[in-house]
Structure 1
């Protein structure tokens, strides 16, 4: 699949356009009912890993997205590479466990009466801008993962088998993504598992 974005200049001869090319697969395949658990696992891992990385939990994100080795495609093997694969898995799990153990060191904040841990970035604009009736001089961006989600994740090792079979709380990563915006702020939620927000500050 290929995706291209062309941004036109206001008043120019060409407008903005987005083009997506998704050629048909060489071979058709069907995901059977008995294989749906693995499809769910891939969705949950991808969504969780993205949220964890944005919130500053890089080691946990890596272990979540590729629990069986260096990449998501890694699998157990009988070859001479198996020892190296196991060492990689152990190292990733140890780093993730240490990171989750020290999760309280991350920035704590509340959004819609729910508590999150993650990171906060605040920066000054090169020059003030006017938004509505406010002069905006700085921007604050926050990314966070829910305390309950992190707590459940830290209660067991980041396993190689389908994670929803071990920890039902990870289903929260599949929940609906919602957004809301005010005059000077905007927020995105993925269920109660993840939140990101931006605030324009005077």
Structure 2
């Protein structure tokens, strides 16, 4: 802080004694009294400024030390923060199961195998799981087998207990029924959470692809 210099007109009034003071006119004594009061006020404020300046300098030193502590703590916290971010994936995850029918145009063939310009509409089923965490930039998709019965057949092999109690009944469910979605999410969510908890960094960086094969492999380990 810049030091405030006292103005030149702030002077000591040693020349003024009682006899001289009372020899002045009322107007002059009034000016002298006013000047003395102002001079005292100025000196007082200068003293307070100097004291506060010392306090500010000490506070600046304290703040500099605290900033250095913040910097050191941030260095220590950064690797732990990254671990916590990965750990959060185990607890903060949304999983969705979907089935769609994709319509495509297909050229019709006659017996002589010559192609005609006539087209027919064919429906191609598609099954997939979507998952999202607080730490992944976008929603990720796990493509399953096209037909539901194919997926349930594979799940029957790796999750026999689940299939006997729940999976077998899903064959007759309508497209995207609530029972179907809930059952598939309840089955796959803990498996996805387990995979992410162990390999979140690799999956987030694209070094490991979370696909249906990896799901089945983890399910087999969990003996569902």
Between structures 1 and 2, the one with greater strand share: 1
TM-score (norm 1): 0.22
Between structures 1 and 2, the one with greater helix share: 2
TM-score (norm 2): 0.20
**Max Rg structure:** 2
